[in-house]
C-alpha cells in the first residue's frame, strides 16, 4: 500500500530582517549572550546538536512529519456498473465524489474499475489520494467542446456571466473564459466551474478578478484538463488511460490544461499512465516540485508530450514514451535539478527535447531521440535577461537519430548557453547527408564540453560558429 504523508508547512521565521521590531532585537541579544555563556561552560555542542533520530513513530495529533508505515488505508472502488463497485457511475461526479470521500478520511486509494468515464468537469485530485485504474481498460475522456460568446459585460469583481446562446452548458460544468484584455489587448484565460443558473445567466465558483467586457469579445468554452490539482501534495495517478478527444475539442495550451494539469503541487507520482489525443499538452505541471513521471505513454497531442513547467524543481522522468506530439519533452522556465533518463522520444513534429529559459543543472541521460521534425535536442535562445540560458546541463549517452529535414540539426546550442556537457552520445543520420549537421554551436555560446560522442552520416559533424 502506498504511504501518503500530509503536506509539510515550513514554520514562520522568528524574525524576517535586520530591521525587525525592538522585541525581536532584544531576543537576538539574549540568544547571543546565551550562546557566549554556553561556550564558556563547555556545553554549546549540546545546545546546537541535531535531535535524536525518530524510531518506531506513533501517530501523534498534529504531527505531520513522522507517521507509522501503515499496511492498509481506505480503498474506495468506482465502476460503471454495480458489480464490485462502492460508487456507480461513468461521469466526473462519481470520480470526484470518490476522491473527496477518501480525502476527508485521511487519504487512501480510489480504485477505478474498467470502463469509459466521460467528463463534463475536471476531476480535482486531493492530497494523500491515489487514483488507481485497472490498466488500459480504464479510460477517462471528455465531452466535445463548444464555444459561446458572452452577451453582457462582467467586471472583475463579478461572479457571474451571461451567455449569448444556451448551448449545452450545465450546472457543474468546467469552463474556460477567454477574451482580449480591454486595457492592453493581451489574452485573458480564466478557468471556472458553473455552479448555478437562471436563464442564460450562470454563477461561477469564484469571482472573475479580470474584466470580461464585450469590447474584448469574451467567450465561454467547455474546455478543461481531465485530471487536475492545485496546491495539493502526495498524490499518485496510476494505471489508466486519459483521452483528450482532440478531434472534437478546441485548443487549450499547456499553461492551463492537458490530460493532466498540476499547479503548485508537491510530491506527485504518475506511473503507467497513457495520455493521448489532447488538443494541447499531454502531461503538464507548473511550479510543482518532486514530480515523478515513470513508464507513461504520452502521444498524439497538439502541444507537448511532457511539460515540466515553470519553476518546477527536481522532476524525475523515467522510461516514458513521448511520440507524435509537437514537442516530446519541453523543459519550461526555471526547471532545475531534474533527471530525464531512458525515455523514448520519437516522431515529434518540431523538437524531441527543448530546454531553455533558466533551466539549469538538469541531466538528460540514456534517452532515444528519434526522427524529430526539426531538431533532435534544442538548447533555446531565451534572451530575456542577463543570464536566462540553459546553463550547467548534461546531455550524455543518448541516441539521437535522423533529426530534421535536409538541413536538420541533431543538437543545436543557441544563445549564450554555457557550461554544458555533451558526452558519450551516439548521433547518427541514416538518410543521405544532405546539409545536415550533428552538433551546431551558436556564435555566443560559452563553454561546452564535447567528449566521446560518436557521429555518423552527417554533412558536418561539428558546426562551431564561435569566434
- Average pLDDT of the residues in 391-404: 98
Which whole-number Å values give the CA distances from 200 to 168, 170, 222, 248, in the listed order? 11, 11, 15, 24
Reduced to 3 states, what is the DSSP secondary structure of residue 285?
strand
Given 162, 191, 221, the domain boundary residue is 221
Given 221, 241, 271, the domain boundary residue is 221
Q: Is the pLDDT score of 197 beyond 70?
A: yes
Cβ atoms within 10 A of the Cβ of 335, count?
A: 27
CATH code of residue 127: 2.160.20.10
pTM over 0.85: yes
Is residue 315 domain-shared with residue 435, that is, in the same domain? yes
SS (H, E, C) 146-209: CEEEECCCECCCCCEEEECCCCCCCCCCEEEEEEECCCCCCEEEEEEEEEEEECCEEEECCCCC
* 214-242 pLDDT per residue, tens: 999 999 999 999 999 999 999 999 999 99
Assess if residue 321 is contained within a domain.
Answer: yes
Assess if residue 394 is contained within a domain.
Answer: yes
Is residue 181 domain-shared with residue 217, that is, in the same domain? yes
Is residue 405 domain-shared with residue 317, that is, in the same domain? yes
Is residue 336 domain-shared with residue 272, that is, in the same domain? yes
Is residue 258 domain-shared with residue 209, that is, in the same domain? no
Is residue 166 domain-shared with residue 103, that is, in the same domain? no
CA 251, 253, 256 angle in degrees (round to 5)? Answer: 120
Domain holding 351, by residue range, is 82-142+224-464
* 238-256 pLDDT per residue, tens: 999 999 999 999 999 999 9
Residue 5: its pLDDT value, please?
Answer: 43
Is residue 256 domain-shared with residue 235, that is, in the same domain? yes
- b vs e for 60-93, b when ≥16 Cβ sit within 10 Å of the residue's Cβ? eeeeeeeeeeeeebeebbbbbeeeebebebbbbe
Q: How many domains does the chain have?
A: 2
Is residue 348 domain-shared with residue 455, that is, in the same domain? yes
Q: Which residues contact 140 (CB under 8 A, 6 or more apart)?
A: 95, 112, 116, 117, 119, 123, 226, 227, 240, 241, 242, 243
- Which grid cell sits at 355? 530546454
Residue 385: its pLDDT value, please?
Answer: 74
- Mean pLDDT (the chain) is 91
Give the whole-number percent of the chain exceeding pLDDT 90: 82
Is residue 388 domain-shared with residue 251, that is, in the same domain? yes
Assess if residue 9 is contained within a domain.
Answer: no
Q: Is the pLDDT score of 3 beyond 70?
A: no
CATH code of residue 179: 2.40.30
Q: Is the pLDDT score of 398 beyond 50?
A: yes
Amino acid at each position: 500500500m502506498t504511504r501518503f504523508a500530509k503536506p509539510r508547512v515550513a514554520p514562520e521565521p522568528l524574525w524576517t530582517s535586520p530591521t525587525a521590531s525592538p522585541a525581536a532585537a532584544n531576543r537576538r541579544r539574549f540568544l547571543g549572550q546565551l550562546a557566549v555563556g554556553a561556550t564558556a561552560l563547555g556545553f554549546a555542542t549540546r545546545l546546537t546538536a541535531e535531535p535524536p533520530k525518530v524510531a518506531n513513530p506513533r501517530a501523534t495529533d498534529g504531527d505531520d512529519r513522522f507517521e507509522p508505515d501503515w499496511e492498509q488505508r481506505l480503498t474506495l472502488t468506482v465502476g460503471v456498473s454495480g458489480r464490485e463497485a462502492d460508487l456507480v457511475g461513468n461521469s466526473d461526479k462519481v470520480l470526484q465524489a470518490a476522491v473527496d470521500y477518501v480525502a476527508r478520511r485521511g487519504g487512501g486509494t480510489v480504485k477505478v474499475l474498467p470502463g469509459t468515464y466521460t467528463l463534463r468537469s475536471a476531476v480535482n485530485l486531493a492530497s494523500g489520494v491515489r487514483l488507481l485504474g485497472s490498466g488500459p481498460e480504464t479510460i477517462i475522456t471528455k465531452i466535445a467542446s463548444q464555444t459561446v460568446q458572452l452577451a453582457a459585460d462582467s467586471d472583475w469583481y463579478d461572479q457571474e456571466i451571461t451567455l449569448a446562446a444556451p448551448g449545452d452548458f450545465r450546472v457543474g460544468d468546467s469552463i474556460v473564459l477567454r477574451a482580449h484584455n480591454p486595457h492592453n489587448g493581451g489574452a485573458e484565460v480564466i478557468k471556472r466551474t458553473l455552479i448555478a443558473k437562471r436563464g442564460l445567466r450562470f454563477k461561477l465558483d469564484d469571482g472573475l478578478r479580470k474584466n470580461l467586457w464585450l469590447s474584448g469579445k469574451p467567450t465561454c468554452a467547455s474546455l478543461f484538463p481531465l485530471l487536475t490539482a492545485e496546491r495539493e501534495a502526495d498524490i499518485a495517478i496510476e494505471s489508466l488511460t486519459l483521452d483528450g478527444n482532440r478531434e472534437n475539442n478546441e485548443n487549450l495550451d499547456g499553461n492551463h490544461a492537458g490530460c493532466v494539469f498540476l499547479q503548485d503541487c508537491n510530491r506527485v507520482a504518475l506511473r503507467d499512465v497513457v495520455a493521448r489525443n489532447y488538443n494541447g499538452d499531454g502531461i503538464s505541471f507548473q511550479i510543482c516540485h518532486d514530480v515523478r513521471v515513470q513508464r507513461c505513454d504520452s502521444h498524439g497531442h497538439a502541444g507537448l508530450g511532457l511539460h515540466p513547467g515553470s519553476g518546477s524543481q527536481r522532476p524525475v522522468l523515467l522510461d516514458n514514451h513521448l511520440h507524435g506530439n509537437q514537442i516530446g519533452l519541453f523543459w519550461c522556465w526555471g526547471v532545475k535539478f531534474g533527471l530525464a533518463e531512458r525515455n523514448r522520444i520519437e516522431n515529434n513534429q518540431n523538437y524531441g527535447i527543448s530546454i531553455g529559459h533558466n533551466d539549469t543543472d538538469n541531466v538528460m541521460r540514456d534517452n532515444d531521440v528519434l526522427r524529430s521534425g526539426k531538431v533532435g535536442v534544442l538548447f533555446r535562445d531565451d534572451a530575456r535577461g542577463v543570464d536566462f540560458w540553459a546553463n550547467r546541463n548534461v546531455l550524455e549517452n543518448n541516441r539521437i537519430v535522423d533529426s530534421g529535414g535536409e538541413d536538420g540539426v541533431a543538437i543545436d546550442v543557441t544563445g549564450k548557453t554555457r557550461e554544458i556537457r555533451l558526452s558519450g552520445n551516439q548521433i547518427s543520420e541514416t538518410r543521405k547527408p544532405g546539409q545536415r549537421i550533428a552538433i551546431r554551436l551558436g556564435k555566443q555560446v560559452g563553454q561546452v564540453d564535447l567528449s566521446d560522442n560518436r557521429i555518423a552520416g552527417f554533412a558536418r559533424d561539428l558546426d562551431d560558429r564561435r569566434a
